């Protein structure tokens, strides 16, 4: 394990979850800052069986930790990891899902987006995504998560799982018509969390449709 720390201005929490996303940058000079540095670091660590962790507090500093595999078996195991992208506009649900997936050794959250546009852009920038978790309402009550799912299925073979508070049968049917593999009610997510079965559900969905 190698760790780098500074005592700089730190990274705000709303930006921290995006720092490994491709093309994400808060710097003003976009012509010289392409937002690919930490994305490439994260990809290299993943492909070699390691991992990258970033902790930061505003006005205190940032710590970047590189965790390298001990032996080849770990590298081979990481090749079968389930790569997940989360598209969700609610910061609280983003944090919940990040924590769940982050604790699973055979799952990796490779990107987050909060709008339909961000989600589609992210899907084009990333490769080998196994599961997209998509909130059905990304801006108000517009059901734009369904249109996001439709766009994702047009360009990707990845599975799309809808996350929602809605239980209307017509809406559920629209989600499946758009290409969703499954549909999870958020109120049930809280039950799944308490029973520690949500990661198992995602893994079963991944294996069932391989």
The predicted-structure confidence for 87-129, as pLDDT tens digits, reads as follows 988 888 887 787 777 777 777 888 888 888 888 888 888 878 8
What is the 3-state composition of the chain as percent helix, strand, coil, each rounded to the nearest 5?
40, 20, 35
Element at 112 (helix H, strand E): strand 107-113
Q: What is the pLDDT of residue 29?
A: 64
Q: What is the Cα 203 distance to its own chain's centre?
A: 15
| Mean pLDDT for the chain overall | 79
Q: What is the pLDDT of residue 158?
A: 84
Instruction: State the Cα angle at 133 between 106 and 40, rounded to 5°.
Output: 60
Q: Is the pLDDT of residue 76 over 50?
A: no
Q: Can you tell me which residue has the tokens 């809808």?
A: 162
Whose CA is closest to 1, among 73, 82, 63? 63
Q: Rounded distance, CA 54 to CA 117, Å?
A: 25
Q: Helix or strand or coil: residue 79?
A: coil
Q: What is the pLDDT of residue 53?
A: 87
Q: Is the pLDDT of residue 169 over 70?
A: yes
> What is this structure's pTM?
0.62
More confident residue, 8 or 197: 8
Q: Rounded distance, CA 176 to CA 161, Å?
A: 9
Q: What is the pLDDT of residue 57?
A: 92
First to last CA, the chain: 34
The confidence band for 73, taking pLDDT boundaries of 50, 70 and 90, is very low
């Amino acid at each position: 394990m190698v760790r780098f720390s500074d005592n700089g201005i730190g990274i705000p929490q709303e930006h921290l979850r995006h720092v490994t996303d491709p093309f994400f940058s808060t710097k003003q000079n976009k012509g010289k800052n392409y937002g690919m540095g930490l994305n490439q670091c994260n990809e290299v660590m993943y492909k070699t069986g390691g991992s990258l962790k970033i902790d930061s507090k505003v006005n205190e500093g940032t710590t970047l930790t590189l965790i390298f595999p001990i032996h080849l078996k770990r590298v081979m195991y990481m090749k079968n990891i389930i790569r997940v992208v989360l598209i969700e506009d609610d910061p609280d649900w983003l944090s919940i899902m990040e924590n769940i997936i982050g604790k699973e050794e055979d799952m990796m959250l490779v990107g987050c987006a909060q709008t339909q546009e961000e989600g589609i852009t992210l899907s084009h920038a990333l490769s080998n995504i196994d599961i997209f978790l998509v909130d059905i309402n990304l801006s108000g009550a517009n059901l734009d998560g369904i249109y996001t799912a439709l766009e994702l299925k047009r360009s990707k073979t990845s599975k799309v799982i809808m996350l929602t508070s809605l239980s209307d049968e017509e809406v559920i049917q629209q989600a499946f018509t758009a290409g969703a593999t499954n549909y999870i009610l958020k109120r049930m997510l809280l039950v799944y969390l308490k029973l520690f079965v949500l990661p198992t559900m995602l893994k079963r969905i991944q294996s069932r449709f391989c």
